[in-house]
Amino acid sequence: MKIVCTILTWLAASWAQAASGDLDQLLQRVEQTGRVEAQLRREREDRFRQARDQQETLLSELRKKLAAESERGEQLKARFADNEANLKVMAQALQDKTGDLGELFGTVRQSAADLRALIEESPVNPRYPQRLPLLNELTDSRALPDIGQLGALALMLQREIVESGRIVRMPAQVVGNDGLSEDREIVRVGLFTALDGADYLRYNGANQRFEHLPRPPARVEPTTVDAFNTPGPGYAPLVIDPTRGTLMGMLMQTPAPLERLHQGGVVGYAILAVGALGLLIALLRMTYLAMVQLRLRRQLADLGNPREDNPLGRVLRIAQDADTASPENLELRLDEAVLRELPRLTRGEGLLKLLAGVAPLLGLLGTVVGMILTFQAISLFGTGDPKLMANGISQALVTTAMGLLVAIPLLFLHSLVAARGRSLSRLLDQQALGLAMMARE
């Protein structure tokens, strides 16, 4: 026990010495750290003070600049107000001095704008291309025109009036129907018509060229071409467009008769086929009946010599061959012969009548098909552009008209053929009845 107590006492003394040394070191470290932090705090405070002084200096300068700019803004505002007042005074003075010149300026600008629109579409423009820049200057300028510009405008108007009554041979670029452009010598008749030989031309102001018309409004006679190629007194017939191409353009858009037929589509072609077939049948039947009538007249002139080339001759031959028969048998044989001849005289009448009735029905079918196409166009594209519906409406109306135009002549032809056949049939009946009555006597 004593040894253990001695050891514990020694350990406690050693630990107390060690703890005393650690506390001294810790105290030194704390003191050293405090000194360092104090130094850093003083340096940071110095930097803050310097920055604060700089910001105060900068703020003072900015306040001075703000005050200077505010003062300058007030000066500019006052100057602007003075300028506005002076501008009003000067504008009033200018208006008082110009007087009617302001109205003149507006009139000149309006006249120049109207004249520019006319000259851009004028066939005279290729000869005087310098007119458009002057008109553009007068139209777009904000200044009063001078005397020279007013004189040039008046001269331009006078030249346009003079050129409207002249026939001029002039070189120009002409665009053919193939789209190729070439230099040609043309004849310009006023402002309304131009000729390239015997072909009519239309002036296109967009590209300043003359274009051949794909569909001429009329045929130019050789005498007219010679009359315009060799100027002299007198008159020559010529088609002119007083609207400077508007009517010509509408004429180009108007379908030709053949194009109208194509607008009918498949139904239109079927109607044409029905009409052609009916016309062919009618012509064949009219030709046949005319030949039969001619032969019947010859046979009536020579009843004693019956011929086989006509119905009456064949009936007379049967009557001659049956001279020995009884009157009743002769009458029956004559009726049989007449009945045998009737189908030849009425052949084709039923088919011709059927075709006359089918044609308007096909026209009605084309109307229905055209309206279906129209409603399809409306459902796809709406009603904003009427041209999209024009195809279906054109087919509907064209097929209806074609059906009526085919049916009406076919009905007349059927009536004519039927009447001719009935007249020949009555002639046969009359002759057969006369033969039977003679046999009974």
The pLDDT tens digits of the residues spanning 76-86 come to 998 999 899 89
Alpha helices, DSSP H, located in 164-239: 222-229
Tokens of 15: 């630990």
Tokens of 334: 């004559």
Average pLDDT, the chain: 77
> Percentage of the chain surpassing pLDDT 70?
76
Whether 325 shows a pLDDT value over 60: the answer reads no
CA distances from 251 to 145, 202, 268, 401 (A): 42, 12, 24, 22
Whether 227 shows a pLDDT value over 60: the answer reads yes
* CA-based end-to-end distance of the chain: 195
Lowest-confidence segment of 26-30, 59-63, 346-350 by average pLDDT: 26-30
Tokens of 5: 């107590």
Q: Which pairs count as long-range contacts for 165-172, CB under 8 Å and 24+ apart, including other chains?
A: 165/190, 166/190, 167/228, 167/231, 168/127, 169/229, 170/126, 170/127, 172/126, 172/209, 172/210
Of residues 276 and 228, more confidence is placed in 276
Whether 280 shows a pLDDT value over 90: the answer reads yes
Whether 412 shows a pLDDT value over 80: the answer reads yes
Q: What is the rounded CA–CA span in Å between residue 197 and residue 41?
A: 108
Residue 277 — pLDDT band, cuts 50, 70, 90?
Answer: very high
Alpha helices, DSSP H, located in 99-146: 101-120, 131-140
pTM of the full structure: 0.53
Of residues 164 and 337, more confidence is placed in 164
Q: What is the rounded CA–CA span in Å between residue 242 and residue 240?
A: 6
Of residues 174 and 198, more confidence is placed in 174
Tokens of 170: 């002039």
pLDDT at position 440: 52
Which residue, 257, 268, 201, 197, is CA-closest to 226? 197
pLDDT in tens, 351-407: 888 998 999 999 888 888 888 888 887 777 776 666 667 777 888 888 888 889 999
Of residues 220 and 66, more confidence is placed in 66
Of residues 52 and 434, more confidence is placed in 52
pLDDT in tens, 144-180: 777 887 788 888 888 888 877 777 788 888 887 777 7
pLDDT in tens, 288-317: 888 888 887 777 777 667 777 677 667 777
Q: What is the rounded CA–CA span in Å between residue 319 and residue 336?
A: 11
φ/ψ of 252, rounded to 5, equals: -65, -30
